[in-house]
Protein backbone atom coordinates (compact mmCIF):
# COMPACT_ATOMS: atom_id res chain seq x y z
CA UNK A 1 0.00 0.00 0.00
CA UNK A 2 1.55 3.29 -1.11
CA UNK A 3 1.79 6.05 1.50
CA UNK A 4 1.58 8.92 -0.99
CA UNK A 5 0.49 9.56 -4.56
CA UNK A 6 1.92 11.98 -7.09
CA UNK A 7 0.54 13.15 -10.42
CA UNK A 8 3.24 13.94 -12.97
CA UNK A 9 1.98 16.36 -15.61
CA UNK A 10 3.97 16.49 -18.83
CA UNK A 11 3.35 19.70 -20.77
CA UNK A 12 6.28 19.42 -23.18
CA UNK A 13 9.89 20.52 -23.17
CA UNK A 14 13.34 19.00 -23.39
CA UNK A 15 13.09 16.72 -20.35
CA UNK A 16 10.53 14.44 -21.98
CA UNK A 17 12.49 13.87 -25.18
CA UNK A 18 14.38 10.73 -26.20
CA UNK A 19 16.50 10.12 -29.27
CA UNK A 20 15.10 7.78 -31.90
CA UNK A 21 17.85 5.18 -32.54
CA UNK A 22 17.07 5.02 -36.27
CA UNK A 23 16.43 8.59 -37.30
CA UNK A 24 18.52 10.12 -34.46
CA UNK A 25 15.84 12.79 -34.05
CA UNK A 26 14.27 13.71 -30.73
CA UNK A 27 10.76 12.51 -30.03
CA UNK A 28 8.52 12.70 -26.94
CA UNK A 29 8.95 9.98 -24.34
CA UNK A 30 6.00 7.68 -23.72
CA UNK A 31 5.74 7.46 -19.97
CA UNK A 32 4.91 3.79 -20.07
CA UNK A 33 8.67 3.40 -20.72
CA UNK A 34 9.75 5.92 -18.09
CA UNK A 35 10.99 3.24 -15.70
CA UNK A 36 13.43 2.13 -18.40
CA UNK A 37 15.19 5.49 -18.06
CA UNK A 38 14.52 5.95 -14.33
CA UNK A 39 14.36 2.49 -12.73
CA UNK A 40 15.07 4.06 -9.33
CA UNK A 41 11.48 5.37 -9.31
CA UNK A 42 10.35 1.87 -8.44
CA UNK A 43 12.06 2.30 -5.07
CA UNK A 44 9.84 5.23 -4.08
CA UNK A 45 7.06 4.32 -1.70
CA UNK A 46 4.50 6.29 -3.68
CA UNK A 47 2.09 5.85 -6.56
CA UNK A 48 3.11 7.86 -9.61
CA UNK A 49 0.48 8.56 -12.23
CA UNK A 50 0.93 10.55 -15.44
CA UNK A 51 -1.06 13.10 -17.36
CA UNK A 52 0.32 14.08 -20.76
CA UNK A 53 -1.01 17.08 -22.63
CA UNK A 54 -2.03 16.52 -26.24
CA UNK A 55 -0.54 18.14 -28.15
CA UNK A 56 2.63 18.80 -26.20
CA UNK A 57 3.60 22.46 -26.14
CA UNK A 58 7.07 23.86 -26.58
CA UNK A 59 7.63 26.36 -23.80
CA UNK A 60 8.16 29.14 -26.34
CA UNK A 61 4.48 28.70 -27.26
CA UNK A 62 3.27 28.93 -23.66
CA UNK A 63 0.26 31.21 -23.17
CA UNK A 64 -2.44 32.11 -20.61
CA UNK A 65 -4.90 29.68 -22.18
CA UNK A 66 -2.52 26.81 -21.49
CA UNK A 67 -1.99 28.01 -17.91
CA UNK A 68 -5.75 27.74 -17.42
CA UNK A 69 -5.70 24.17 -18.79
CA UNK A 70 -2.84 23.25 -16.46
CA UNK A 71 -4.57 24.79 -13.44
CA UNK A 72 -7.74 22.88 -14.35
CA UNK A 73 -5.88 19.55 -14.40
CA UNK A 74 -4.55 20.26 -10.91
CA UNK A 75 -7.98 21.38 -9.72
CA UNK A 76 -9.70 18.24 -11.00
CA UNK A 77 -7.02 15.95 -9.52
CA UNK A 78 -6.37 17.89 -6.33
CA UNK A 79 -8.22 15.62 -3.91
CA UNK A 80 -6.77 12.44 -5.43
CA UNK A 81 -3.06 13.23 -5.04
CA UNK A 82 -0.68 14.39 -2.35
CA UNK A 83 1.42 16.46 -4.73
CA UNK A 84 2.12 17.37 -8.34
CA UNK A 85 5.24 17.44 -10.50
CA UNK A 86 4.99 19.50 -13.69
CA UNK A 87 7.46 18.74 -16.50
CA UNK A 88 7.90 21.93 -18.50
CA UNK A 89 10.33 23.54 -20.90
CA UNK A 90 12.81 25.72 -19.05
CA UNK A 91 12.55 28.81 -21.28
CA UNK A 92 9.22 30.00 -19.89
CA UNK A 93 9.03 27.88 -16.75
CA UNK A 94 9.37 30.94 -14.50
CA UNK A 95 6.33 32.52 -16.17
CA UNK A 96 4.18 29.41 -15.79
CA UNK A 97 5.25 28.79 -12.20
CA UNK A 98 4.50 32.42 -11.35
CA UNK A 99 1.09 32.26 -13.03
CA UNK A 100 0.12 29.06 -11.22
CA UNK A 101 1.16 30.55 -7.88
CA UNK A 102 -1.47 33.27 -8.31
CA UNK A 103 -4.14 31.07 -9.88
CA UNK A 104 -3.99 28.37 -7.17
CA UNK A 105 -5.34 30.22 -4.15
CA UNK A 106 -5.16 28.37 -0.81
CA UNK A 107 -2.72 25.84 -2.24
CA UNK A 108 -1.79 23.36 0.47
CA UNK A 109 0.07 20.76 -1.60
CA UNK A 110 3.36 20.81 -3.51
CA UNK A 111 3.31 21.83 -7.17
CA UNK A 112 6.92 21.28 -8.25
CA UNK A 113 8.05 22.40 -11.72
CA UNK A 114 11.10 20.85 -13.28
CA UNK A 115 12.71 20.27 -16.65
CA UNK A 116 16.16 19.85 -18.08
CA UNK A 117 18.76 21.29 -20.39
CA UNK A 118 19.40 17.90 -22.02
CA UNK A 119 16.76 15.30 -22.98
CA UNK A 120 16.15 12.57 -20.43
CA UNK A 121 17.25 9.88 -22.90
CA UNK A 122 20.77 11.30 -23.28
CA UNK A 123 23.70 9.93 -21.31
CA UNK A 124 24.64 13.19 -19.55
CA UNK A 125 21.11 14.45 -19.03
CA UNK A 126 20.32 16.57 -16.02
CA UNK A 127 16.71 15.46 -16.38
CA UNK A 128 17.06 12.28 -14.32
CA UNK A 129 18.32 14.07 -11.25
CA UNK A 130 15.83 16.93 -11.59
CA UNK A 131 12.94 14.49 -11.97
CA UNK A 132 13.93 12.27 -9.04
CA UNK A 133 14.56 15.26 -6.77
CA UNK A 134 11.18 16.73 -7.68
CA UNK A 135 9.37 13.49 -6.87
CA UNK A 136 11.10 13.24 -3.50
CA UNK A 137 10.30 16.87 -2.64
CA UNK A 138 6.69 16.51 -3.74
CA UNK A 139 6.28 13.50 -1.42
CA UNK A 140 8.12 14.99 1.58
CA UNK A 141 5.85 15.27 4.61
CA UNK A 142 6.11 15.94 8.32
CA UNK A 143 3.28 15.14 10.72
CA UNK A 144 1.18 14.25 7.66
CA UNK A 145 1.64 17.78 6.27
CA UNK A 146 3.57 18.55 3.05
CA UNK A 147 6.92 20.24 3.63
CA UNK A 148 6.58 22.43 0.52
CA UNK A 149 2.91 23.42 0.10
CA UNK A 150 3.56 25.97 -2.66
CA UNK A 151 4.51 26.32 -6.32
CA UNK A 152 8.26 25.80 -6.66
CA UNK A 153 10.92 25.09 -9.27
CA UNK A 154 13.41 22.27 -8.73
CA UNK A 155 16.51 22.52 -10.89
CA UNK A 156 20.15 21.50 -10.45
CA UNK A 157 19.87 20.46 -6.79
CA UNK A 158 18.12 23.66 -5.77
CA UNK A 159 14.51 24.43 -4.93
CA UNK A 160 13.25 27.94 -5.67
CA UNK A 161 9.97 29.69 -4.98
CA UNK A 162 8.34 29.64 -8.40
CA UNK A 163 7.33 33.28 -8.54
CA UNK A 164 10.80 34.44 -7.51
CA UNK A 165 12.73 32.88 -10.37
CA UNK A 166 14.14 33.89 -13.73
CA UNK A 167 15.99 31.81 -16.29
CA UNK A 168 19.57 33.03 -16.35
CA UNK A 169 21.50 30.58 -18.49
CA UNK A 170 20.63 28.61 -21.64
CA UNK A 171 23.68 26.34 -21.50
CA UNK A 172 24.61 25.51 -17.91
CA UNK A 173 22.62 23.00 -15.89
CA UNK A 174 22.12 25.69 -13.25
CA UNK A 175 19.64 27.54 -15.44
CA UNK A 176 17.69 29.53 -12.85
CA UNK A 177 18.31 32.34 -10.42
CA UNK A 178 16.33 33.75 -7.54
CA UNK A 179 18.07 37.05 -6.99
CA UNK A 180 15.90 38.37 -4.19
CA UNK A 181 14.79 35.32 -2.22
CA UNK A 182 16.83 32.48 -0.69
CA UNK A 183 16.52 28.84 -1.71
CA UNK A 184 13.63 26.87 -0.25
CA UNK A 185 15.76 23.73 -0.15
CA UNK A 186 19.18 22.40 -1.16
CA UNK A 187 19.73 18.85 -2.40
CA UNK A 188 22.89 17.04 -1.32
CA UNK A 189 23.34 13.75 0.47
CA UNK A 190 20.18 14.85 2.26
CA UNK A 191 17.61 17.43 1.24
CA UNK A 192 17.95 20.43 3.52
CA UNK A 193 14.65 22.28 3.76
CA UNK A 194 14.70 25.89 4.91
CA UNK A 195 11.32 25.69 6.55
CA UNK A 196 11.34 29.26 7.81
CA UNK A 197 11.37 30.41 4.17
CA UNK A 198 8.61 28.11 2.88
CA UNK A 199 4.98 29.25 2.83
CA UNK A 200 2.83 27.71 5.54
CA UNK A 201 -0.39 25.83 4.71
CA UNK A 202 -3.65 27.54 5.64
CA UNK A 203 -5.77 24.36 5.27
CA UNK A 204 -8.49 26.25 3.39
CA UNK A 205 -10.24 24.84 0.35
CA UNK A 206 -8.38 25.26 -2.94
CA UNK A 207 -9.77 28.00 -5.14
CA UNK A 208 -8.64 28.09 -8.77
CA UNK A 209 -8.84 31.49 -10.46
CA UNK A 210 -9.04 31.04 -14.22
CA UNK A 211 -9.73 34.54 -15.53
CA UNK A 212 -6.57 36.10 -16.95
CA UNK A 213 -6.39 39.42 -18.81
CA UNK A 214 -3.48 39.75 -21.24
CA UNK A 215 -4.04 43.41 -22.13
CA UNK A 216 -0.63 44.33 -20.78
CA UNK A 217 2.77 45.18 -22.25
CA UNK A 218 6.40 45.41 -21.20
CA UNK A 219 8.26 48.64 -21.91
CA UNK A 220 11.96 48.00 -21.42
CA UNK A 221 13.99 51.18 -21.26
CA UNK A 222 17.38 51.52 -22.90
CA UNK A 223 19.66 54.48 -23.54
CA UNK A 224 18.46 56.19 -26.70
CA UNK A 225 14.93 54.81 -26.71
CA UNK A 226 12.79 56.98 -28.97
CA UNK A 227 9.54 58.74 -28.27
CA UNK A 228 8.04 56.81 -31.21
CA UNK A 229 8.80 53.46 -29.57
CA UNK A 230 7.31 54.56 -26.26
CA UNK A 231 4.25 56.07 -27.91
CA UNK A 232 3.69 52.87 -29.87
CA UNK A 233 3.58 50.74 -26.72
CA UNK A 234 1.65 53.15 -24.49
CA UNK A 235 -1.01 53.62 -27.18
CA UNK A 236 -1.56 49.92 -27.85
CA UNK A 237 -5.26 49.34 -28.41
CA UNK A 238 -6.94 47.92 -25.31
CA UNK A 239 -3.87 48.37 -23.12
CA UNK A 240 -4.71 48.30 -19.40
CA UNK A 241 -1.30 48.05 -17.76
CA UNK A 242 2.36 48.34 -18.68
CA UNK A 243 5.40 46.97 -16.88
CA UNK A 244 8.04 49.67 -17.06
CA UNK A 245 11.42 47.92 -16.89
CA UNK A 246 13.66 50.61 -15.48
CA UNK A 247 17.34 50.93 -14.63
CA UNK A 248 18.83 50.02 -11.26
CA UNK A 249 16.61 50.97 -8.33
CA UNK A 250 13.74 52.09 -10.57
CA UNK A 251 15.38 54.92 -12.45
CA UNK A 252 14.23 56.34 -15.79
CA UNK A 253 15.00 59.33 -18.04
CA UNK A 254 13.94 62.70 -16.64
CA UNK A 255 13.64 64.39 -20.02
CA UNK A 256 10.29 66.19 -20.41
CA UNK A 257 9.02 64.17 -23.38
CA UNK A 258 9.42 60.88 -21.50
CA UNK A 259 7.72 62.17 -18.37
CA UNK A 260 4.90 63.57 -20.51
CA UNK A 261 4.33 60.16 -22.09
CA UNK A 262 4.16 58.44 -18.70
CA UNK A 263 1.86 61.11 -17.29
CA UNK A 264 -0.43 60.82 -20.29
CA UNK A 265 -0.65 57.03 -19.83
CA UNK A 266 -1.48 57.38 -16.13
CA UNK A 267 -4.08 60.03 -16.91
CA UNK A 268 -5.73 57.66 -19.39
CA UNK A 269 -6.08 55.07 -16.63
CA UNK A 270 -3.24 52.79 -17.69
CA UNK A 271 -1.48 51.18 -14.73
CA UNK A 272 2.28 51.72 -14.93
CA UNK A 273 4.21 49.19 -12.82
CA UNK A 274 7.88 50.00 -12.20
CA UNK A 275 10.07 46.86 -12.18
CA UNK A 276 13.86 46.85 -12.26
CA UNK A 277 15.79 45.25 -15.13
CA UNK A 278 18.30 43.91 -12.60
CA UNK A 279 18.15 40.25 -11.54
CA UNK A 280 18.85 41.29 -7.96
CA UNK A 281 17.83 44.32 -5.96
CA UNK A 282 14.64 46.31 -5.77
CA UNK A 283 12.82 49.38 -7.04
CA UNK A 284 13.09 52.21 -4.53
CA UNK A 285 11.29 55.14 -6.11
CA UNK A 286 12.56 58.38 -4.66
CA UNK A 287 16.02 57.11 -3.79
CA UNK A 288 17.36 59.00 -6.79
CA UNK A 289 16.03 62.04 -8.58
CA UNK A 290 15.62 59.93 -11.73
CA UNK A 291 12.88 57.87 -10.04
CA UNK A 292 11.24 60.38 -7.72
CA UNK A 293 9.28 61.99 -10.53
CA UNK A 294 7.68 58.69 -11.57
CA UNK A 295 5.98 58.30 -8.21
CA UNK A 296 4.51 61.78 -8.46
CA UNK A 297 2.96 60.84 -11.81
CA UNK A 298 1.21 57.80 -10.32
CA UNK A 299 3.65 55.04 -11.29
CA UNK A 300 3.46 52.02 -8.94
CA UNK A 301 6.72 50.70 -7.50
CA UNK A 302 7.30 46.95 -7.85
CA UNK A 303 9.82 46.50 -5.04
CA UNK A 304 11.85 43.33 -5.80
CA UNK A 305 9.33 41.47 -7.97
CA UNK A 306 10.61 39.72 -11.09
CA UNK A 307 9.33 40.65 -14.53
CA UNK A 308 7.89 37.13 -14.92
CA UNK A 309 5.94 37.50 -11.70
CA UNK A 310 4.87 41.05 -12.54
CA UNK A 311 3.44 39.89 -15.89
CA UNK A 312 1.41 37.05 -14.41
CA UNK A 313 0.31 38.98 -11.32
CA UNK A 314 -1.09 41.75 -13.50
CA UNK A 315 -2.91 39.22 -15.71
CA UNK A 316 -4.40 37.62 -12.60
CA UNK A 317 -5.45 40.89 -10.94
CA UNK A 318 -6.91 42.42 -14.10
CA UNK A 319 -8.73 39.19 -14.90
CA UNK A 320 -10.21 38.99 -11.41
CA UNK A 321 -12.22 42.14 -11.98
CA UNK A 322 -10.67 44.36 -9.32
CA UNK A 323 -11.04 48.10 -9.65
CA UNK A 324 -8.02 50.08 -10.84
CA UNK A 325 -7.39 51.39 -7.33
CA UNK A 326 -7.58 47.87 -5.89
CA UNK A 327 -5.17 46.55 -8.53
CA UNK A 328 -2.69 49.29 -7.64
CA UNK A 329 -2.98 48.43 -3.96
CA UNK A 330 -2.60 44.69 -4.53
CA UNK A 331 0.42 45.24 -6.78
CA UNK A 332 2.15 46.64 -3.70
CA UNK A 333 1.02 43.72 -1.52
CA UNK A 334 2.71 40.32 -1.34
CA UNK A 335 -0.02 37.80 -2.21
CA UNK A 336 1.98 34.58 -2.67
CA UNK A 337 5.41 35.54 -1.37
CA UNK A 338 6.31 37.06 -4.74
CA UNK A 339 7.84 40.26 -3.35
CA UNK A 340 9.43 41.73 -0.26
CA UNK A 341 7.42 44.74 0.89
Smallest CA-to-CA distance from 152 within 189, 183, 195, 131 is with: 183
Q: What is the pLDDT of residues 139-163, one digit of tens each?
A: 999 988 999 999 999 999 999 999 9
Residue spans per domain, the chain: 4-208, 216-331
Query: Do the first three CATH levels of 4-208 and 216-331 match, i.e. the same topology?
Result: yes
Is the confidence at residue 75, as pLDDT, over 90?
Answer: yes
Q: Residue 41: its pLDDT value, please?
A: 74
Domain 216-331 is found in CATH 3.40.50.40:
yes
CB neighbours of 229 closer than 8 A, spacing ≥ 6? none
Fold of 4-208: Rossmann fold (3.40.50)
Q: Residue 101: its pLDDT value, please?
A: 98
Which helix (H) or strand (E) segment holds residue 242: the answer is strand 241-246
Is the confidence at residue 297, as pLDDT, over 70?
Answer: yes
Q: What is the pLDDT of residues 37-46, one digit of tens each?
A: 777 777 778 8
Q: What is the pLDDT of residues 165-223, one digit of tens each?
A: 999 887 777 788 999 999 999 999 999 999 999 999 999 999 999 999 999 999 999 99
| Residue positions annotated with a catalytic role | 14
Q: Residue 19: its pLDDT value, please?
A: 67
Band of pLDDT at residue 20, cut at 50, 70 and 90: low
The dihedral through the CA atoms of 142, 145, 146, 149 has a sign that is: negative
CB neighbours of 151 closer than 8 A, spacing ≥ 6? 97, 100, 101, 104, 107, 111, 113, 161, 162, 163, 336
Amino acid sequence: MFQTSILVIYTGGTIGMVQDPKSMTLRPLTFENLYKYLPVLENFNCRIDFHTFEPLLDSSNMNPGFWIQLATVIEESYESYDGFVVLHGSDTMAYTASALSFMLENLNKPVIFTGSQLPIGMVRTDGRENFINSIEIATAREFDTPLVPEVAICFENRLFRGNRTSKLNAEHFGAFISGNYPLLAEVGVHIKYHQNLILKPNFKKLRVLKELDDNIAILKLFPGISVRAIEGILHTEGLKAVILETFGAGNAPTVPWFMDQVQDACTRGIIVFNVTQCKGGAVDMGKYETSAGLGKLGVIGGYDITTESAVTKLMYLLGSGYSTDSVKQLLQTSLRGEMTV
